[in-house]
Amino acid sequence: MLNKKVDPRVQRTQNLLRDALIELIDEKEYEKITIQDITTRAVVNRATFYRHYLDKDDLLSKSIDTVLKNMFGEASKFFSVSKDVDELQKYVASHIFEHVARHKKFFQVMLLGKGIPNFIQYFKGFLFEFYVHAISEAKLEENKLPVPKEMVVSYISASYIGVIIWWLEGDMVDTPSFMTKQMIHINKQGPIQLLKKFRNTEV
């Protein structure tokens, strides 16, 4: 079943409201933000707001889900075409870093700023579910893995979040393409092996 296309005008309004809320969260306590604050910042009226959302909690929840769900592009289509793990990694990593760059303000506020208390755990859970699905689609012999699949997925999810936070803290000086290549390099070599490989033995 094909996904119903979203009206561009509806999408634009939802983006305006989401961006307004994120900006306001960065400026003041979430509890003190009013619907009037949001609509004034987004330059839309209250009636328009309530056509899309029940309240600010609904706006926040749906905004987070939308941003995270769009992170992997057409990953489901990719799964049906390629089962190659290296290709999957390259595809996913590039989409993650490009997506974070496009939504820089959102991730800065959520991961570095005030955001919401449980966002990191929510984000990790989202990545975890994605990779569990990816492993399932890749038809790996899970019973032959040297460590539990869930442990591998948890490690990958946490590493992405850690690297994204590091990238944001440095004001994203490096490009998404550079970050993708570095992440793939770390994943292929393994952090400990990478450090051992380039250890200066002459000291």
**Average pLDDT value for residue range 64-78:** 79
Q: What is the pLDDT of residue 200?
A: 60
Angle between helix axes 85-102 and 119-137 (nearest 10 degrees) is: 150
Dist CA 64 CA 115 (whole Å): 11
pLDDT of 1 > 50? The answer is: no
Closest CA to 63 of 29, 101, 95, 23: 23
- Tell me the pLDDT tens digit for each residue of 112-170: 987 788 899 999 999 999 888 877 776 667 677 788 888 988 999 999 999 999 999 99
Statement to judge: residues 74 and 167 lie in one domain: yes
Q: Residue 103: helix, strand or coil by DSSP?
A: coil
Q: Which domain holds residue 151?
A: 70-197
Q: Does 2 reside within a domain?
A: no
Sign of CA dihedral 48, 126, 157, 114: positive
Our count of domains for the chain comes to 2
| Dist CA 108 CA 114 (whole Å) | 9
49 and 81 fall within a common domain: no
CATH code, 28: 1.10.10.60
Q: Are residues 143 and 45 in the same domain?
A: no
- Asked if residue 64 belongs to a domain, the reply is no
CATH number at residue 111: 1.10.357
